A = this chain, B = another copy of it.
Amino acid sequence: MTLTSVNPATISGQGLTDAKRLSMYRQMVLIRTFEEALLRDYHADKSPVWDIGAGLIPGEMHLAAGQEPVAVGICDHLTADDAVTATHRPHHLAIAHGMNLRKLAAEIFGRETGLGKGRGGHMHLFDPDTHFSCSGIIAEGYPPALGQAFAFSRRGTDRIAVAVTGEGAANQGAFHESLNLAAVWKLPVVFIVEDNDWGISVPRSASTSVPSNADRAAAYGIPGERVEDNAVEAVWEVAGRAIQRARDGGGPSLIEVHTLRLWGHFEGDAQGYRTDLEGVPDRDPIPTYESSLRAAGILDDAAVAEAKTDALAAVDDAIAFAKSSPVPDPTQATAYVFTDSSAEEARS
């Protein structure tokens, strides 16, 4: 029930080896590289008249640039047996949790080889291999996470579920119900709030009655911590404790991370409403982390270059795979509504 602002200077860092630091940096670079590639492809073929429904990647596109520290700091503690549920802004978590990059890219490009065979799209990623899911409905990804946690604990495993929403979502009813139920039943779930200061155009101050959502842990008798810094190591430290507690049968925790929406709410958002734009570029967590790892002697030019080259290679491969994959067969548009209307049978 405590509110903790973690200062990275005071992080105990136990278990935070240089190798891990490097790997977390590389993960953040991979995520950013992936989203930069999406950004390019998303906008590439929407001109001359920008049309949201046109192009190789149509529809709403919510990118998570700036929020990589949250994903990487958490998922480092997880294996593919643990569950992660995300929101309309899911890529950073999907990648950090180890989702196959090709399947992810193919889904975003609406291809038959995608995670959901092109049916789901970027807000609806369901990956049985990594127990990853998401929901485009605010806060409604929390409740299913309870059920994954429930199944894990009923089966006597120490697997856990991590459920993520934005700070805007913390004012939705599902948030409250989920925290209470998880607390009463001591479910192994860690609730994460990504506070990027904005819910589309509405600033946190206009939507939220408390300065920290971690304060809300008191309403459920569970531990709550706020990480003030958008720093991967701070997230890693705080999330690690909560995840261990959940694995040990200690029940749920709530963590809010003060992170950063580096770009618009979705692509095409001119952000005219945004009063804090000026300082944003300087707050990009990746260069910040890069500097500190350089200062610590963990990164040098070569390692940075290697991280970027490797990321680019992986992303290029995934995007090339997506682009060269077949689009779904239109005659199969009504398949998969029921298990007994799967493609096979729909064909017949």
The residues of A with any CB-CB pair to B shorter than 8 Å are 171-177, 179-181, 183-184, 206-211, 215-216, 218-222
CA distance A305 to B171 in the complex (A): 51
A206-B219 in contact (CB<8A):
no
Task: Tell me the nearest residue of chain B to A186, going by C-beta.
Answer: B209
Copies in the assembly, this chain:
2
CB pairs A–B below 8 angstroms (29 shown): A171-B176, A171-B177, A171-B180, A171-B181, A172-B173, A173-B174, A173-B175, A173-B176, A175-B176, A176-B176, A176-B177, A179-B209, A180-B209, A184-B206, A184-B207, A184-B208, A209-B219, A209-B220, A209-B221, A209-B222, A210-B220, A210-B221, A211-B221, A215-B218, A215-B221, A216-B219, A218-B218, A218-B219, A219-B219
> Which 7 residue pairs are nearest across A and B when measured between Cβ atoms?
A173-B173, A176-B176, A183-B209, A216-B219, A219-B219, A209-B220, A218-B218
CA distance A47 to B206 in the complex (A): 57
Classify the interface of chain A: helix, strand, loop or mixed: helix
CA distance A172 to B176 in the complex (A): 8
Task: Tell me the nearest residue of chain B to A206, going by C-beta.
Answer: B184
Set of chain B residues within 8 Å of A221, measured between Cβ atoms: 209-211, 215
CA distance A100 to B283 in the complex (A): 63
| 18 new A-B contacts at CB < 8 Å, known A171-B176, A218-B219 | A172-B173, A172-B177, A173-B177, A179-B209, A180-B208, A183-B209, A184-B207, A209-B219, A209-B220, A209-B221, A209-B222, A210-B218, A210-B219, A215-B218, A216-B218, A216-B219, A218-B218, A219-B219
Task: Tell me the nearest residue of chain B to A182, going by C-beta.
Answer: B209
CA distance A176 to B181 in the complex (A): 14
Set of chain B residues within 8 Å of A172, measured between Cβ atoms: 173, 177
Set of chain B residues within 8 Å of A173, measured between Cβ atoms: 172-177
CA distance A221 to B171 in the complex (A): 13
CA distance A208 to B173 in the complex (A): 15
Task: Tell me the nearest residue of chain B to A220, going by C-beta.
Answer: B209
Set of chain B residues within 8 Å of A179, measured between Cβ atoms: 209
